[in-house]
Structure 1
Amino acid sequence: MTDGGIIGDPTEAALVVLAAKAGVDADTVRADRPRSGEVPFDAAVKYMATFHREPDGRTRVHVKGVVDVVLDRCTDLLTEDGIRPLDDDRRREILAVASRLGNTGLRVLVAATALVDRTPAAPDHGGRAALPGLTLMSVAGIADPPRPQARDAVALCRTAGVAVKMITGDHADTAAAIARELDIVGEVVTGAELERMTADQLAERIDGVGVFARVAPEHKVTIVRALTKRGHIVAMTGDGVNDAAALRAAHIGVAMGITGTDVAKEAADMVLSDDDFSTIVRAVREGRSIYDNIVKFVRFQLATNIGAILALLGASLAGLPAPLTAAQLLWINIIMDGPPAMALAVDPPDNDVMSRAPRDPGERILSVRRLAAVTRAGAVMAMGTVTLLAIAQERTGTDTALTMAFTTFVLFQLFNALNARADDGPLLGRHQFRNRTLWLVLGNQGLGGLGAFFMGSVSLASVAQVRQPVVLVRADWTAAREHVPDDGGRPCVSTPYCEVLLALDPRDECGELLDFALQAAEHRGATLSVIHAWQPPHSLGGPNQEGDAPGRRDTERELAELIDPWRKKYPSVDVQVHTCRGRPALTVTHAAQGAGLLVVGRRIRLATMGSHMGRVVRQAMHRVACPVAVIAHD
Structure 2
Amino acid sequence: MPKTRNDKNDQQSSSRRKIKSDPKEGKPKEEGVVTLNNKNNNFNSTPKNLEEKVHLLIERKQKTLHKKEKIASKKESKSGSGQQMIQALDVYTASSSSTEECVAKLRADPENGLSQAEATRRLGFSGYNEFEVKKSESLLGKYFEQFKNPLICLLLSSAIVSTVMKQFDDALSITVAVMIVVTVGFVQEYRSEKTLEKLNRLVPPTAHCIRDGKSVTFYAKELVPGDLVLLNTGDRVPADVRILESIQLQIDESSFTGENEARYKHSNLIPANSRTPHVNGIIVNGHCNIECDGGIEHLDNIAFMGTLVCSGRGKGVVIGTGANSKFGEVFQLMQSEESPKTPLQNSMDQLGKQLSFYSLGVIGLIFFIGLIQGRPAMDMFTIGVSLAVAAIPEGLPIVVAVTLAIGVMRMGNRNAVVKKLSAVETLGCVTVICSDKTGTLTKNMMTACVVIAADDCQAEVTGTGYDPSDGDCRLQNGELVSGSERHPSIACVIEIGCICNNAQLANGTVIGQPTEGALMVLAMKTNIDNLCNNIRRLHEIPFTSDSKWMAVQVEQLNKPGEVETLVKGAIDRILDICIGYLENGNIKMLMTREKYDQIIQTASGLGQSGLRVIGMARGSDMRSLYYAGLVGILDPPRPGCRQSIEIVQSAGVSVKMVTGDGLETATSIGIRLGLHKQNDNCLSGPQIDDLKDSELEQLIQSVTIFYRASPRHKLRIVKALQNIGEVVAMTGDGVNDAVALKKSDIGVAMGESGTDVCKEAADMVLINDDFSTIKAAIEEGKGIYHNITNFVKFQLSTSVAALSLIAISTIFHFENPLNAMQILWINIIMDGPPAQSLGVENVDADIIKQPPRNVREPLINRSLIISIISSAAIIISGTLFVFYKEMAADNKITPRDTTMTFTCFVLFDMWNALSCRSSRKMIWEIGLFGNRMFCLALVGSLLCQLAVIYFKPLQHIFQTEALTIFDLLFLLLLSSTVFFFNETKKFIQLQRQRRNLQRKHSTSDCNCLGEACLGTQTI
In structure 2, the partner of 1:18 is 522
Aligned residues: CA RMSD: 4.9
Cα 1:48–1:222 shift into 2, 3 Å: farther
- Whether 1:263 and 2:764 are equivalent positions in the alignment is no
- Matched to 1:184, the amino acid is L
Question: Match for 2:915 among 419, 431, 454?
Answer: 419
In structure 2, the partner of 1:191 is 684
In structure 1, the partner of 2:865 is 371
Q: Is the 8 A contact 2:821 2:958 kept in 1?
A: no
Question: Match for 1:290 among 784, 788, 802?
Answer: 784
In structure 2, the partner of 1:410 is 906
Question: Match for 2:606 among 91, 101, 125?
Answer: 101
5 Å-filtered alignment, 1:88-237, equals 96-104=601-609, 106-108=611-613, 140-169=631-660, 172-186=663-677, 187=680, 189=682, 191=684, 194=687, 198-199=691-692, 200-213=694-707, 215=709, 218-237=712-731
- Matched to 2:691, the amino acid is T
CA offsets 1:132-161 (integer angstroms, 9 cap, x no match): xxx999854224443442222112111211
TM-score, L = length of structure 1:
0.56
5 Å-filtered alignment, 1:435-514, equals 435-450=931-946, 452-453=948-949, 455=950
2: CA distance between counterparts of 1:202 and 1:112?
47
Q: Is the 8 A contact 1:385 1:409 kept in 2?
A: yes
Quick one: higher RCO (CA 8 Å, sep 6+), 1 or 2?
2
2: CA distance between counterparts of 1:34 and 1:249?
51
Q: Is the 8 A contact 1:393 1:400 kept in 2?
A: no
1: CA distance between counterparts of 2:640 and 2:632?
23
Q: Is the 8 A contact 2:879 2:901 kept in 1?
A: yes
Question: Aligned-pair distance for 1:273?
Answer: 0.5
- Matched to 1:152, the amino acid is Q
- Matched to 1:442, the amino acid is L
SS of 1:374's partner is: helix
Cα 1:174–1:349 shift into 2, 3 Å: same
Q: Is the 8 A contact 1:74 1:112 kept in 2?
A: yes
SS of 2:895's partner is: helix
2: CA distance between counterparts of 1:314 and 1:357?
41
Q: Is the 8 A contact 2:657 2:704 kept in 1?
A: yes
TM-score, L = length of structure 2:
0.36
1: CA distance between counterparts of 2:697 and 2:535?
49
5 Å-filtered alignment, 1:29-108, equals 77-78=577-578, 80=580, 96-104=601-609, 106-108=611-613
SS of 2:670's partner is: helix
SS of 1:395's partner is: coil
In structure 2, the partner of 1:8 is 509
In structure 1, the partner of 2:925 is 430
CA offsets 1:46-90 (integer angstroms, 9 cap, x no match): 999999999xxxxx9x997xx6xx97x9995456479xxx9x999
In structure 2, the partner of 1:558 is none
Cα 1:264–1:346 shift into 2, 3 Å: same
Cα 1:449–1:7 shift into 2, 3 Å: same
Question: Aligned-pair distance for 1:308?
Answer: 1.5
2: CA distance between counterparts of 1:47 and 1:338?
75
2: CA distance between counterparts of 1:19 and 1:285?
43
Question: Aligned-pair distance for 1:175?
Answer: 3.9
Cα 1:316–1:143 shift into 2, 3 Å: same
2: CA distance between counterparts of 1:141 and 1:262?
33
Question: Aligned-pair distance for 1:332?
Answer: 2.5
Cα 1:332–1:148 shift into 2, 3 Å: same
Q: Is the 8 A contact 1:107 1:142 kept in 2?
A: yes
1: CA distance between counterparts of 2:617 and 2:759?
34
Cα 1:19–1:332 shift into 2, 3 Å: same
Question: Aligned-pair distance for 1:172?
Answer: 4.1
SS of 2:942's partner is: helix
Higher Cα radius of gyration: 1
2: CA distance between counterparts of 1:198 and 1:47?
36
Question: Aligned-pair distance for 1:18?
Answer: 3.0
- Long gaps (5+) in structure 1: 40-44, 55-59, 114-134, 467-482, 486-634
SS of 1:421's partner is: coil
Question: Aligned-pair distance for 1:256?
Answer: 1.0
CA offsets 1:501-559 (integer angstroms, 9 cap, x no match): xxxxxxxxxxxxxxxxxxxxxxxxxxxxxxxxxxxxxxxxxxxxxxxxxxxxxxxxxxx
SS of 1:363's partner is: coil
Cα 1:262–1:53 shift into 2, 3 Å: farther
Q: Is the 8 A contact 2:795 2:830 kept in 1?
A: no
- Long gaps (5+) in structure 2: 1-465, 471-506, 555-564, 583-590, 619-625, 963-1019
Q: Is the 8 A contact 1:255 1:272 kept in 2?
A: yes
- Whether 1:345 and 2:849 are equivalent positions in the alignment is no
CA offsets 1:242-276 (integer angstroms, 9 cap, x no match): 22233234332221111112222222222110111
CA offsets 1:98-141 (integer angstroms, 9 cap, x no match): 4311444534467999xxxxxxxxxxxxxxxxxxxxx9998542
Q: Is the 8 A contact 1:77 1:137 kept in 2?
A: no
- Matched to 1:358, the amino acid is P
- Matched to 1:252, the amino acid is I
Question: Percentage identity across aligned positions?
Answer: 36
Question: Aligned-pair distance for 1:285?
Answer: 1.1
2: CA distance between counterparts of 1:103 and 1:38?
24
Cα 1:169–1:271 shift into 2, 3 Å: same
2: CA distance between counterparts of 1:246 and 1:233?
13
Q: Is the 8 A contact 1:107 1:143 kept in 2?
A: yes
SS of 1:166's partner is: strand
